[in-house]
Chains A and B, each alone.
Chain A
Amino acid sequence: PLQSKPQAVVTFPGELVGAWSDLELAESYLLRFGYTTEVEAKTGSKHASLGKALRKMQKQLGLEETGELDASTLEAMRAPRCGVPDQPS
Chain B
Amino acid sequence: FLTFEGDLKWDHMDLTYRVMNYSPDLDRAVIDDAFKRAFKVWSDVTPLTFTQIYSGEADIMIMFGSGEHGDGYPFDGKDGLLAHAFPPGRGIQGDAHFDDDEFWTLGTGLVVKTRHGNANGADCHFPFIFEGRSYSRCITEGRKDGLPWCATTPSYDHDKKYGFCPSELLYTDGGNSDGAPCVFPFVFDGSSYDSCTTDGRSDGYRWCATTTNFDQDKKYGFCPNRDTAVIGGNSQGDPCVFPFTFLGQSYSACTSQGRQDGKLWCATTSNYDTDKKWGFCPDKGYSIFLVAAHEFGHSLGLDHSSVREALMYPMYSYVQDFQLDPDDVQGIQYLYGRGSGPAPTAPVPAPTEESQPMPTEAGSTSTSEEETPEPTAEPIPVDPSWDACMEESFDAITEINGELHFFKDGKYWTHPSFWKSGIQGAFFTADTWPGLPAVIDAAFQDVLTKRVFFFASRQFWVFSGKSVLGPRGIEKLGIGKEVTRITGALQRGRGKVLLFSGESYWRLDVKVQRVDKGYPRATDDIFTGVPLDARNVFLSQDKYHFCQGKFYWRMTPRYQVDRVGYVKYDILQCP
Contact = CB atoms under 8 A, between A and B. Distances in A.
Contact of A83 (B73, B259, B303): B73
B186 interface: no
B306 A88 contact: no
Q: Which of A10, A81, A88 has the most CB of B within 10 A?
A: A81
A61 B303 contact: no
Contact of B303 (A7, A62, A84): A84
Nearest to B312: A82
Contacts of B233: 12, 14
Nearest to B74: A83
Tell me what chain B mostly uses at the interface: helix, strand, loop, or mixed: loop
A84 B259 contact: no
Contacts of A80: 79-82, 102, 286, 315-316
A7 B247 CA distance: 11
Interface string A1-39: 000000111101110000000000000000001000000
Interface residues of A, number: 21
Contact of B295 (A9, A14, A82): A82
A86 interface: yes
B314 A61 contact: yes
Contacts of A60: 304, 306
A14 B234 contact: yes
Contacts of B291: 82
Given A13-B234, A82-B294, A61 B82 contact: no
A59 B96 CA distance: 27
B202 to A, nearest CB: 16
Given A8-B247, A9-B259, A82-B314, A88 B81 contact: no
B265 to A, nearest CB: 7
B134 interface: no
Contacts of A81: 80-82, 314-316
Interface in B235-271: 247, 257-260, 265
Given A80-B315, A88-B4, A13 B276 contact: yes
A12 B278 contact: yes
A67 to B, nearest CB: 17
Given A14-B234, A59-B306, A61-B315, A83 B258 contact: no
B75 interface: yes
Given A8-B247, A60-B306, A62-B306, A84 B315 contact: no
Contacts of B258: 8-10, 12
A4 to B, nearest CB: 13
Given A80-B315, A86-B314, A12 B81 contact: no
A48 interface: no
Nearest to A9: B260
A25 to B, nearest CB: 10
Given A80-B315, A84-B314, A10 B259 contact: yes
B85 interface: yes
Given A81-B81, A82-B314, A12 B247 contact: no
Contacts of B81: 80-83
Interface in B71-108: 73, 75, 79-85, 99, 102
B83 A82 contact: yes
A14 B366 CA distance: 43
Contact of A88 (B82, B260, B303, B316): B303
Contacts of A84: 84-85, 298, 303-304, 314
Interface string B455-467: 0000000000000
Contacts of A10: 247, 258-259
B5 interface: yes
A50 B22 CA distance: 40
> Considering residues A12, A13, A86, which has the most beta carbons from chain B within 10 angstroms of its beta carbon?
A12
Contacts of B257: 7-8
A10 B313 CA distance: 36
A79 interface: yes
B116 interface: no
Interface in A61-75: 61-62
B160 interface: no
Residue in B73, B294, B314, B316 with the greatest tally of chain A CB atoms within 10 Å: B314
A13 B272 CA distance: 11
Contacts of B307: 62
A3 B84 CA distance: 49
A61 B315 CA distance: 9
Contacts of B260: 9
Given A10-B258, A13-B234, 14 more contacts: A8-B247, A12-B259, A14-B233, A33-B314, A59-B306, A61-B314, A61-B315, A79-B316, A80-B80, A81-B316, A83-B82, A84-B85, A84-B303, A88-B5
Q: Which 9 A-B pairs have the closest CB atoms?
A: A83-B84, A10-B258, A14-B234, A83-B81, A80-B316, A81-B315, A79-B315, A86-B304, A81-B314
Interface of B: 4-5, 73, 75, 79-85, 99, 102, 232-234, 247, 257-260, 265, 276, 278, 286, 291, 294-295, 298, 303-304, 306-308, 313-316
